[in-house]
Amino acid sequence: MSDLDSRLTAALNADPPPSRDARFRVEVLLRIERARFKQRVLMTLAVAFVAAALVAVNAQAIESWIAMDTSRLWIVALGAVIATFSLSGVPIEALPGFRGFARTLGRWLYP
């Protein structure tokens, strides 16, 4: 080895980086989580805006549709519950019993 190579190797090995930099890892994880949060908030706002616009445009039609037969009210209530859950950010798969229901429904639809 030449003198230049040995000096270069010594300089590179003089101050090695830490094996694990916990602070850097935490900062990267925070940056990723902030980006995910911003994406979720923007998606929720977009869905809420579209849902509000659809309801505002069709409010009279929905009201007359319910007035014709009051048993249709549960359909509107179910739609409101689904919209509430979708806007709250709770994943539907996390709800108790949903996976079993999805499997049963899959067996009925795709024997």
pLDDT value for 35 = 92
Residue 25 CA: distances (Å) to CA of 1, 18, 20, 32, 33: 37, 12, 8, 11, 12
User: HSE on the CB side for 3, CA within 13 Å?
Assistant: 0
Q: Which residue has the tokens 């950010």?
A: 89
Say whether pTM exceeds 0.75: no
Question: How do the pLDDT tens digits run along the chain, 111 residues long?
Answer: 577 788 888 877 777 666 677 888 888 899 999 998 888 888 878 878 888 888 888 888 878 877 888 777 888 888 888 777 776 666 666 677 777 877 887 888 786
**Distance (Å, rounded) from C-alpha 81 to C-alpha 52?**
15
Q: For residues 56 and 70, is the Cβ–Cβ distance under 8 A? A: no
> Could you tell me the sign of the dihedral formed by the alpha carbons of 80, 85, 88, 89, in that order?
negative
Residue whose C-alpha is closest to residue 44's, from 100, 101, 84, 92: 84
Q: For residues 87 and 47, is the Cβ–Cβ distance under 8 A? A: yes
Q: Give the 3-state secondary structure of residue 58.
A: helix
pLDDT value for 66 = 79
